[in-house]
Amino acid sequence: MAIQSWALASLDDTKLFLKITDDEDDELLIKLINQASGFMESFTDRKLKTRAYSSALSTDRAECWYDGDNSKRLFLRQWPVTSVTSPITVSGSDITVAGATDYYGSTGYVNYTRRGELFYDNGFDVGKQNVRVSYTAGYLTTDPEYFELSLLCMELLGVVWTQKDHLGFKSETLGNYSYSLQDLKELSSKGDCSILNPMGLLNRYRRKSSG
């Protein structure tokens, strides 16, 4: 088993964090790193570690194809956006990045990286999945947010690790153990996981409801 490319912690850092010096449980730790990272993405409804999304790939359509509504602003599903592959397409027409500092009246788009917003003064035409964008988004390993998320990932899997002898498992073997949000909430209510409270660190990264 390998650590997923989108995992938020490395095996070496996790073993250092947990004060583990041997290799006996490496496979289990890798599984827990992947599970904790997946849990964090599910909870926040975001893909947190940097990766590329292509509008040409059917697997990336949810991230790259958008409905235009004549608004001048389009918020990409993943952020922060480190780069946008120019041009983007709007109703089949190519739109290149704006080349001037005055973006009003420009025929190009502007990328506001931190909030994942594209601004296009002409407006994104009304249509069904007629705006298509290829881009790279997520936190780089050099970003302070990534450091915080990596530490949180190790905290979460550490909860399972330290409780494994008396927590009780949903599967017959430790190697098949998986945990859920409810498991962590139960631990939090017992005071074993103070970081996972309604106003905790992970909530700060959660996608805000549009409703």
Q: What is the pLDDT of residue 194?
A: 45
Statement to judge: residues 154 and 108 lie in one domain? no
Q: What is the pLDDT of residue 61?
A: 97
Q: What is the pLDDT of residue 14?
A: 96
Statement to judge: residues 132 and 58 lie in one domain? yes
pTM for the model stands at 0.82
Note the Cα 202 to chain centre separation in Å. 11
Residue 29, helix vs strand vs coil: helix
Q: What is the pLDDT of residue 203?
A: 82
Q: Which residues contact 198 (CB under 8 A, 6 or more apart)?
A: none
Environment class of residue 171 by beta-carbon count within 10 Å: exposed (0-12), middle (13-18) or buried (19+)? Answer: exposed
CB atoms within 10 A of CB 61: 15
Statement to judge: residues 121 and 172 lie in one domain? no
Of the three residues 83, 106, 137, the one that is the final residue of a domain is: 137
Of the three residues 137, 171, 189, the one that is the final residue of a domain is: 137
Statement to judge: residues 58 and 159 lie in one domain? no
Tell me how far apart the alpha carbons of residues 53 and 64 are, in angstroms, rounded to a whole number: 7
Statement to judge: residues 162 and 145 lie in one domain? yes
Statement to judge: residues 107 and 159 lie in one domain? no
Statement to judge: residues 58 and 132 lie in one domain? yes
Could you tell me the residue range of the domain that residue 88 belongs to? 51-137
Statement to judge: residues 126 and 60 lie in one domain? yes
Q: What is the pLDDT of residue 209?
A: 67
The kind and range of the H/E element at 68 are: strand 65-68
Instruction: Judge whether 210 lies within some domain.
Output: no
Work out how many domains the chain is built from and give that number: 2
Statement to judge: residues 58 and 102 lie in one domain? yes
Beta pairing class for 81-90 and 127-137: antiparallel
Instruction: Judge whether 1 lies within some domain.
Output: no
Instruction: Judge whether 211 lies within some domain.
Output: no
Statement to judge: residues 33 and 95 lie in one domain? no
Statement to judge: residues 71 and 173 lie in one domain? no
- What are the average pLDDT values for consecutive 10-residue runs of the chain, which has 211 residues? 94 96 91 89 94 97 97 96 95 89 76 93 96 98 95 85 60 43 53 48 80 42
Instruction: Judge whether 5 lies within some domain.
Output: no
Of the three residues 86, 102, 137, the one that is the final residue of a domain is: 137
Q: What is the pLDDT of residue 193?
A: 47
- Is residue 151 within 8 A of residue 109, CB to CB? The reply is no
Q: Write phi, then psi, for 169 (nearest 5 degrees).
A: -115, 150
Q: What is the pLDDT of residue 99?
A: 79
